[in-house]
Structure formats: structure tokens, C-alpha cells
């Protein structure tokens, strides 16, 4: 029998409870570096990273209700205090609720590639949303991106090439809890490695 997922309200943010821009210090009760993962799935990355870096705070954004519930249950059972999860649409959430220059790092790992050409415009990382990410980042803040989809990676590289006046490519540091050959340690990455898919990643630092 599958164990019932528990709810941990102290780890949960709800869109209806947020009327304006988030105050991270108020949410976490302290002033600390803030990392946001867009598409947090069942919370594998957040769990490992939050355990390894208790001095930092993390927010996970996930649209799928079942994954969001799994992530909250997992983090709650581990007693993680420095993570909050919200179920919402990421692009709108950034635009409406994240202050300018407030985020230290964005993690975007294996987002939906929307592979059909007519659906490419739905991809999370496009020019408009990339500008939003840069707006939210602190000076020298970082964006880390990984995908198994070659066309999506080419799109991201083109966006970065258009923004060389604002970002610089840096080394992609593997996440906490990664195993041999991994860079993000997410469930998707582990699945794709087993499937022998080619995984590509890039990290950029904000310069202006």
C-alpha cells in the first residue's frame, strides 16, 4: 500500500495568499541567499541542496499538483526548514511576485521542451522570460539550465548570445547529492542517463 502523502503547511506557499512581491526575509525568518528552482518535480534537487546548504533558502515552483504534493511530503518528512514550495505558473509568478535584484540563483532543469515547432513559444526559457530572470537576479546572480533536448539547448544558447552585454558563461558546478556522471541529481536526469540521452547544460552569471 502506498503511504499517504502528508501536508506540511509550513513548507507551502499558495498563490492566493500572496498579494504583492514576496519578502524572503519574512517568509524564512532570516536574511539569506535565495535560490529558486523552476520545475521542482518531486523535490529531489531541493532536498539534497537544502540539506547541503542550510545557510541558504530555497523556493521550488511546480505546476503539476501530484509532483508538488510529493515534494512537500518528502521535504516535510526530512524536517527541512529552508525550503518553500508553491504550485503555480512560473513565468507569471516571477513577473508578479519576485522583486528586482532579489534572487541569487535560478535552477531550471529539464523543463518541458514543447518539441513541436508550433509549441516552441510555450517554452519557459525564451527572450521575454530570460529578461524576467535577469530582472529578478541580484548583481552577479546565476542561472543554471540543463536539458536533454538538443533544439531547446540551441535556443537557449542563441538567447545567451544575444545577451552577452548582460551575462557571461561560467562553469556549471554539479549540484549537491549528484552521483557519478550527474550534474543536477534530479529524477529526470537519472532517467535520461539510463536512456543514454545526451544531456547538455549551461550556467551564466549576470554582469549588468
pLDDT tens, residue by residue, 37-79: 999 999 999 999 999 999 999 999 999 999 999 999 999 999 9
The whole-angstrom separation of Cα 134 and Cα 66 is 30
| Category of 29 on φ-ψ map: left (φ > 0), alpha (ψ -120 to 50) or beta | left
pLDDT given at position 118: 79
Is 112 catalytic? The answer is yes
Domain 28-206 has CATH 3.40.50.150: yes
Domain boundaries, the chain: 28-206
Residues 201 and 119: their CA atoms lie apart, in Å, by 22
Residue pLDDT, tens place only, 58-68:
999 999 999 99
Neighbouring-strand partners of residue 37: 60, 107
What are the tens digits of pLDDT across the range 175-207?
999 998 999 999 999 999 999 999 999 999 999
Three-class SS of residue 52?
Answer: helix
Catalytic one of 26, 92, 112, 151: 112
Amino acid at each position: 500500500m502506498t503511504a499517504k502523502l502528508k501536508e506540511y503547511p509550513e513548507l507551502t506557499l499558495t498563490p492566493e495568499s500572496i498579494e504583492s512581491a514576496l519578502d524572503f526575509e519574512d517568509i524564512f525568518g532570516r536574511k539569506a541567499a535565495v535560490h529558486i528552482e523552476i520545475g521542482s518535480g518531486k523535490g529531489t534537487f531541493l532536498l539534497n541542496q537544502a540539506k547541503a546548504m542550510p545557510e541558504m533558502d530555497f523556493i521550488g515552483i511546480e505546476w503539476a499538483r501530484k509532483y508538488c504534493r510529493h515534494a512537500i511530503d518528502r521535504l516535510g518528512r526530512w524536517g527541512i526548514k529552508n525550503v518553500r514550495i508553491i504550485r503555480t505558473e512560473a513565468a507569471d509568478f516571477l513577473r508578479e511576485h519576485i522583486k528586482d535584484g532579489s534572487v541569487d540563483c535560478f535552477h531550471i532543469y529539464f523543463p518541458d521542451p514543447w518539441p513541436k515547432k508550433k509549441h516552441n513559444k510555450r517554452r519557459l526559457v525564451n527572450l521575454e522570460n530570460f529578461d524576467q530572470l535577469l530582472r529578478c537576479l541580484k548583481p552577479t546572480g546565476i542561472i543554471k539550465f540543463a536539458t536533454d533536448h538538443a533544439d531547446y539547448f540551441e535556443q537557449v544558447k542563441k538567447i545567451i548570445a544575444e545577451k552577452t552585454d548582460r551575462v557571461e558563461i561560467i562553469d556549471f558546478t554539479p549540484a549537491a547529492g549528484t552521483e557519478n556522471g550527474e550534474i543536477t541529481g534530479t529524477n529526470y536526469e537519472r532517467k535520461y542517463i539510463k536512456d543514454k540521452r545526451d544531456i547538455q547544460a549551461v550556467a551564466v552569471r549576470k554582469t549588468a
